């Protein structure tokens, strides 16, 4: 147990250093604001959400808040968190005009905000591949404990390999699929990108509107 805790601490430290280096070079290290890939990915993410609006949403790993800004338009309340202080500062600036959005510094899954739930939307975007297998298992447990009976889980990840990824996007999504106990409603699969949507409510969008 002590060895595992030491490994987790070392992994967190290495990840923090990685993000320190990224944000030292740029306030938008992944080109979230202007890059067409990222803008298109946000559009796909928002389009795949099965409901037009959510009561209480959670977005861990919010980076500089570009997706947070768009999610805020679909939520009555939204908690966004990131482990890096500069990311938190930038995200707060991005959603400064949205009083129903809170941005906090937290490390997920370790600092999962159980007191802020339950959530009817949880968005795991470009986060899970920085976690090892045991952390993804813990993440799935937190999601299962925090999601409302009608809640939605959306996961979105880059599929290309990179040095800092501890697992692949496909492996991370498979672990969430197995660990959360939810029904998959949508699956978007392309060479660069993987998006999956799950819910406790197995009805399709058309069924929810009484069309099927």
Nearest 10 degrees: CA dihedral of 199, 98, 102, 109? 40
C-alpha to C-alpha distance for 110 and 16, rounded to whole angstroms: 14
C-alpha to C-alpha distance for 6 and 2, rounded to whole angstroms: 6
Q: What pLDDT shows up at residue 5?
A: 41
58 Cα distance to chain centroid? 8
Confidence of residue 4 (pLDDT cuts 50, 70, 90): very low
Q: What pLDDT shows up at residue 212?
A: 79
Instruction: Tell whether the model's pLDDT for residue 116 goes beyond 70.
Output: yes
Instruction: Tell whether the model's pLDDT for residue 3 goes beyond 70.
Output: no
Confidence of residue 19 (pLDDT cuts 50, 70, 90): low
CATH code reported for the domain at 2-208: 3.40.50.150
Instruction: Tell whether the model's pLDDT for residue 20 goes beyond 90.
Output: no
Range name among 18-32, 35-49, 99-113 with the lowest pLDDT average: 18-32
Instruction: Tell whether the model's pLDDT for residue 6 goes beyond 50.
Output: no
Distances from the Cα of 104 to the Cαs of 46, 53, 91, 115, in angstroms?
Answer: 22, 22, 9, 14
Domain regions of the chain by residue span:
2-208
Contact at 8 Å (CB) between 18 and 24?
Answer: no
Q: What pLDDT shows up at residue 14?
A: 56
What is the residue-wise DSSP string for 64-118? TSHHHHHHGGGEEEEEEEESSHHHHHHHHHHTTT-TTEEEEE--TTTT--GGG--
Confidence of residue 27 (pLDDT cuts 50, 70, 90): low
pLDDT tens column, 127-139: 999 999 999 999 9
Strand order in the sheet with 193-199: 101-105, 75-82, 54-60, 119-125, 147-158, 193-199, 183-189
pLDDT tens column, 153-195: 999 999 999 988 999 999 999 999 999 999 999 999 999 999 9
Q: What pLDDT shows up at residue 24?
A: 64
Confidence of residue 30 (pLDDT cuts 50, 70, 90): low
C-alpha to C-alpha distance for 5 and 19, rounded to whole angstroms: 21
Tokens of 53: 């609006």
C-alpha to C-alpha distance for 150 and 4, rounded to whole angstroms: 35
Work out the average pLDDT over 21-36: 69
pLDDT tens column, 45-102: 999 999 999 999 999 999 999 999 999 999 999 999 999 999 999 999 999 999 999 9
C-alpha to C-alpha distance for 67 and 125, rounded to whole angstroms: 9
Tokens of 49: 């959400």
Q: What pLDDT shows up at residue 17?
A: 72
Work out the average pLDDT over 4-8: 43
What is the chain's Cα-based Rg?
16
Q: Which of 57, 50, 62, 91 lies closest to 185 in space, CA to CA?
A: 50
Nearest 10 degrees: CA dihedral of 22, 27, 31, 32? 110
């Amino acid at each position: 147990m002590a060895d595992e805790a030491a490994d987790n601490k070392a992994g967190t430290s290495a990840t923090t250093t990685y993000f320190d280096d990224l944000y030292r070079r740029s306030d938008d290290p992944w080109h979230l604001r202007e890059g067409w890939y990222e803008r298109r990915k946000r559009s796909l993410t928002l389009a795949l959400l099965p409901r037009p609006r959510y009561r209480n949403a959670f977005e861990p790993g919010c980076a500089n808040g570009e997706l947070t800004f768009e999610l805020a338009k679909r939520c009555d309340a939204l908690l966004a968190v990131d482990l890096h202080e500069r990311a938190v500062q930038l995200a707060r600036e991005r959603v400064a005009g949205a009083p129903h959005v809170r941005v906090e510094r937290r490390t997920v899954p370790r600092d999962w905000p159980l007191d802020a739930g339950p959530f009817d939307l949880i968005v795991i975007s470009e986060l899970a591949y920085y976690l090892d297998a045991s952390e993804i298992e813990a993440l799935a447990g937190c999601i299962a404990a925090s999601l409302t009976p009608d809640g939605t889980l959306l996961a979105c990840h880059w599929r290309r390999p990179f040095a800092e990824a501890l697992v692949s996007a496909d492996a991370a999504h498979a672990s969430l699929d197995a660990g959360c106990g939810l029904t998959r409603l949508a699956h978007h699969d392309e060479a660069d990108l993987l998006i999956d949507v799950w819910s406790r409510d197995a009805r399709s969008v058309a069924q929810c509107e009484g069309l099927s």
